[in-house]
Structure 1
Amino acid sequence: MAAKPSKDGDFLKHLEAYLAKRDGVDKLLKISRYASKFIISSSLLPHAHPLTRRLKSFESSVGLSRKAFRLGKFIQDVNALRSVAREKNQSRQFLLLSLLAYGGEGIYYFVEQIVWLSKSGLIDARHARELQKVSAWAEFVGYIGSITLKVGDLKELDEKLKCLNSSVEIADVRDENCEEEREKLKVLRLKMMMKKMSILQDFADGLMALADIRDGKGKIFTPFVLSCAGLLSALISTHKNWVSY
């Protein structure tokens, strides 16, 4: 993935700002983890190869590290729900979908903290499996709400794009200056592209959550398919975070 330089053209300063955020480090860890899974599942290396065993150990360690990075992250979903609740004139459908999206994700992040404490050995690991199942269900429900909300946003952006396109076409016919409208058009198209990428990421993450719910049972839930889904999600989320800094 080609890295986009910072606004002042200093790539290293942009990278420093990116790595200063926990989401930035988390996404790089996510790429490392699913790249390792991809190499292992694609049989690029023999099963008994020493590097294969090392990659499995590395992947497991990175997975546990990512759980630690999410400590307290559920608070952002609590605040998102508070923000939605304060907004007036919202439809019941929007409120319900927001509850599914932010509530599901918030429960997922909260339970993941307990799973991390369990896997790190601080608390009894007897209920780790049940907790992971709860975590997967909450994550899956969150993605259903998130995808539905984003599809609605995409429809609104598409309507705005059509209106703006019409204005630019009329201005072109009249030979009028419409540089401001053209700039808005570029911004709107970029927003639509990012929204589509975000929906694709949610589908990929949702597939992995569903695999956890079904304990990997199902023809589609092969290690190779899931590693590809994870790597795709990691690259998209890394790109989104990179351009936002």
Structure 2
Amino acid sequence: MDAKTKNKRDFLNHLEVYLSKRDGVDKLLKISRYASKFIISSSILPHAHPLTRRLKSFESSVGLSRKAFRLGKFIQDVNALRSAAREENRSRLFYILSLISYGGEGIYYFVEQIVWLSKSGLIHARHASELQKISAWSEFVGYLGSISLKVEDLKELDEKLKCLCSSIEIAVVRDENCEEEREKVKVVRLKMMMKKLSILQDFADGLMALADIRDGKGKVFSPFVLSCAGLLSALISTHKNWISC
């Protein structure tokens, strides 16, 4: 389905498709959670206000629900690693970054399942703090790999854009039709914009993972800053999922 057809789709039909996907619901929960954190940390409401206590309870409940939604999600990283390994004519750097990105994220999602079982009370919680530390480290490493991969993708897209622009310039000089190339330029520029947004999202999520590693110690890891980072990440990922479905 092309972009024009997607834009003409009925909103409720589009919303139904979006909510039928696990990531769609997960990102809406993420927005709810970090919007609650933002309200609490920004002191919009007094600390002793009854709604503040309710928001804290709601935020904690949504956080646990999101862990349940990730059940089995590490499989997508296993498959992504398999797909990357099958790609031909790629540099060694690509394979290394893919291993770091998908491997780190896969370990994170796998460990998060155990953390969820611990927090939900099914297994003993005595190792919960150690598991959360492993989860945070693997998530952080995964984001480093993901950002590096996307930077490499941006370089490739930039080269492609330059080639297309050169082709258009030559076609204009020769008074030839270059509408197809112009459409390709629009597509490449859209991909570059989405890739940049995705890098920004990874930076925001990486900041939160680093805060978990450092147990929130440091001025940059204040609850307000982290809630803003989480909300930014949630909005970007929601936008990406919305236009892709």
Specify if TM > 0.5: yes
TM-score by length of 1: 0.96
| Cα shift readout 1:144-198 (whole Å, capped 9, x = no counterpart) | 0000000000011011111111211222233321111110010000000000000
Contact in 2 for aligned 1:207/1:229 (Cα 8 Å) = yes
Distance 1:197 1:5 in 2: 23
1:106-145 to 2 correspondences below 5 Å? 106-145=106-145
Distance 1:169 1:54 in 2: 61
What letter matches 1:167 in structure 2? S
1:91 Cα deviation (Å)?
Answer: 2.4
Q: Residue 157 of structure 2 corresponds to which residue in structure 1? A: 157
1:1-245 to 2 correspondences below 5 Å? 6-245=6-245
1:113 Cα deviation (Å)?
Answer: 0.2
1:7 Cα deviation (Å)?
Answer: 4.7
Distance 1:81 1:6 in 2: 30
What letter matches 1:92 in structure 2? R
What letter matches 1:162 in structure 2? K
- Consecutive aligned runs of 4 or more in structure 1 exceeding 4 Å deviation: none
TM-score by length of 2: 0.96
Contact in 2 for aligned 1:117/1:123 (Cα 8 Å) = yes
- Are residues 170 and 89 of structure 1, via their aligned partners in 2, closer, same or farther at CA, if it must alter by over 3 Å? closer
Distance 1:30 1:44 in 2: 20
Identity %: 86
What letter matches 1:191 in structure 2? K
1:97 Cα deviation (Å)?
Answer: 0.8
1:5 Cα deviation (Å)?
Answer: 8.8
RMSD: 1.3
Instruction: Return 5+ residue gaps in structure 2 as ranges.
Output: none
Equivalent residue of 2:35, what SS?
Answer: helix
Distance 2:221 2:7 in 1: 41
Which one has a larger percent helix, Structure 1 or Structure 2? 2
Contact in 2 for aligned 1:27/1:234 (Cα 8 Å) = yes
1:88 Cα deviation (Å)?
Answer: 2.9
Of 172-181 and 48-57, deviating more is: 172-181
Distance 2:142 2:36 in 1: 27
Distance 2:189 2:205 in 1: 24
What letter matches 1:74 in structure 2? F
Q: How many pairs align?
A: 242
Contact in 2 for aligned 1:29/1:62 (Cα 8 Å) = yes
Distance 1:190 1:109 in 2: 29
Of 87-96 and 173-182, deviating more is: 87-96
What letter matches 2:34 in structure 1? Y
Distance 1:5 1:131 in 2: 45
- Are residues 160 and 5 of structure 1, via their aligned partners in 2, closer, same or farther at CA, if it must alter by over 3 Å? closer
Contact in 2 for aligned 1:5/1:14 (Cα 8 Å) = no
Instruction: Return 5+ residue gaps in structure 1 as ranges.
Output: none
Distance 1:115 1:97 in 2: 26
1:83 Cα deviation (Å)?
Answer: 1.4
